[in-house]
Amino acid sequence: MSNLMSGAKILLECLAREGVDCIFGYPGGVTLPFYDALYDHPIRHVLVRHEENAAFAAEGYSRATGKVGVCCATSGPGATNLTTGLVDAMMDSIPIVALTGQVTSKLIGSDAFQEADTFGITRPCTKHNYLVKNLADLPQVIHEAFYLANSGRPGPVLVDIPKDVFQGHYQYTPVNSIHLPGYKIHLDGHAGQIRRAAQMMWEAKRPYVYGGGGILASGATKELQELVETLDAPCVLTLMGLGSLPSSHPNFISMPGMHGSYAANMGMYDCDLLIALGVRFDDRVTGRLAAFAPHAKVIHVDIDPAEIGKNRTPDLPIVGDLKRVLSKLNKNLQELAPSMQETNSAGRREWWSMMRGWQAEHPLQPEFSTDEIKPQHLITEIDKISGGNAIVSVDVGQHQMWSAQFIRFNEPRLWLSSSGLGSMGFGLPAAIGAAFARPDKTVIAIMGDGGFQMSVPELGTIASQGLPVKMIIMNNGYLGMVRQWQELFYNNRLSSVTLDCFPDAEKLAGAYGFKGRTVEKPGELKAALDECFAEPGPYLLNVKVTPFENVFPMVPAGGAINEMVLGPVKPVTA
């Protein structure tokens, strides 16, 4: 009895075997056979309004769960529209699988209608990519794609499938094993190095934990907390790492870097042992490298050997999966504790008093006004409502930095932020992905008026799917972060940053059939937020905030991390 199946059905079979329950996509000519097979298949397809947002939604789904997000686009423009999302996932090490249609094999290279060299274009945008020329290879490739996306250092994988491969028929038998001989994953850190790391930690007077997205990718949050508590070390978390340790944890300081807190950055400067976990020493964290943690020895743990020594040469590198490395490290720390714990306990008490001093000296403090809504005021009100429990998806810019400073997270995977690439237009589609992934959670999308206007088409997706996403626009009428830089570094010559003609939020939301509102008085903010969160469906809240507020502290690009601008230098005149 032969079991001939179409390529499209084989693809769905493989996706189901990988546990896919939801695909974000946009159909087109060459993916017609796939969409026909999808018509009566249990896997849910979410029709977005632009392919870029399919990739962002897949990222949101993945960031909120740790599972592989899946997006789908047609050939040519569909595939090229995905690329920003692919690079975004690449920069933040987010596991997504992108499926693209390609023109019929025989037409490849003939400038056929809607043809683009997707395999070539997306090569540097992905962890790995495939062009499937033979249907027989399809199951193997799909399983490889999922394995590659979510193992080792996670990332995006693209599979380009010509129309004739979807249409062909083949005797399907499930592929139970894949073999990628050149795909080297180092999971277990070197035992001797881990032992040495534990010794260095007890020997340090001023240990400092610098944690990043790798902790979430590895699922090592419990191990991180144990390490931080055993050592009683201060811990900073990068934009990608927020939520790895509960924000309420006494050892958590804040985010470090360009818009990190005074204490976080002074700690970076003065520590004598920097424990770097799943981080990549990004320029937005380090500032001028030569002045970054200048007195510190560095222990760097990462699963990707190519990250070790890329920006800062560590004194002790450990290549491995953080969950495994940290659990061994914690055992080593416990074993060494009786003999070493007290070695530098006086120094460490002094270290904490320095940290607490810096925290008290310049805390991250929201601004309030009785005349206008300060952006920090808005963010702290959102934080109060969330109580550390909501999923917060942000866009890129000032509101993103204020959110990182003021919003608390009780658990991992609540904070969705395009961090490495900084893609405007990320916040809303990522919230859509998260809303499908975590229907049990309140999902808030905080956007600037710039990023929101890149995402307006997705209001259609939100409306048609009835997604209860709380969309909050921090509207200052400007591309705020660019304006801030023009003010500070370009003599306040505000060039092409004014966003006038913002639509009426109530009418805009109403046009899509859900509720919206604009507020501009501080006294009305709380009631407006309450109304927004009380609404069972989607809600678009447009909050007009002080136009000329700047994000502080700020380490100017290329500056030393301990040389922060803590507040406005001079009164600003528009």
Partner 1 sequence: MLQVISLLLENKPGALMRVTGLLSARGYNIESLTVARTTDPTLSRMTIVVDVDAVLRKQVIKQMNRLINVLQAADLTEGPAVARELVLMRVRAAMESRAAILKEAEIFGARVIDSSLEGFALEATGEAEKLDEFIDVMRSYGEIEVTRSGTVAVSLEPRKLRLSSPVATGTGTKSQSTTGVLNG
The binding site for partner 1 (CB under 8 A) comprises 17-19, 67, 119-120, 123-124, 127-129, 131, 143, 146-148, 150-152, 174-187, 304-306, 308-310, 321
The smaller minimum CB distance to partner 1, of residues 131 and 201, is found at 131
The smaller minimum CB distance to partner 1, of residues 223 and 321, is found at 321
Task: Specify the long-range contacts of residues 130-136, CB closer than 8 Å, at least 24 apart.
Answer: 130/157, 130/158, 130/159, 130/160, 131/102, 131/160, 131/162, 132/159, 132/160, 132/161, 132/162, 132/165, 133/105, 133/162, 133/165, 134/165, 135/7, 135/10, 135/165, 135/168, 135/169, 135/170, 136/170
Q: Residue 211 Cβ, how far from partner 1 at the closest point, in Å?
A: 21
What are the b/e assignments for 232-267, b being 16+ CB within 10 Å? ebbbbbbbbbbbbbbbeeebbbbbbbbbbbbbbbbb
Exposed, middle or buried: residue 496 (CB in 10 Å: 0-12, 13-18, 19+)? Answer: exposed
Q: Give the type of residue at 530.
A: D
The smaller minimum CB distance to partner 1, of residues 303 and 551, is found at 303
Judge contact between 318 and 325, C-beta under 8 A: yes
Q: What is the CB-side half-sphere exposure of residue 422 using CA atoms within 13 A?
A: 10
Q: Residue 401 Cβ, how far from partner 1 at the closest point, in Å?
A: 29
Alpha-carbon span 289 to 282, nearest angstrom: 10
Q: Residue 17 Cβ, how far from partner 1 at the closest point, in Å?
A: 6
DSSP letter string, 226-261:
HHHHHHT--EEE-TTTTTSS-TT-TTB----STT--
DSSP 307: G
The smaller minimum CB distance to partner 1, of residues 288 and 515, is found at 288
DSSP letter string, 73-91:
E-TTHHHHHHHHHHHHHHH
List active site positions: 51, 113-114, 163, 481
Beta bridge partners of 122: none
Q: Residue 287 Cβ, how far from partner 1 at the closest point, in Å?
A: 20
Q: Residue 132 Cβ, how far from partner 1 at the closest point, in Å?
A: 11
Q: Residue 122 Cβ, how far from partner 1 at the closest point, in Å?
A: 11
The smaller minimum CB distance to partner 1, of residues 153 and 348, is found at 153
The smaller minimum CB distance to partner 1, of residues 218 and 476, is found at 218
Judge contact between 555 and 265, C-beta under 8 A: yes
Q: Residue 381 Cβ, how far from partner 1 at the closest point, in Å?
A: 39
For the record, the structure tokens of 404 come out as 């990182």
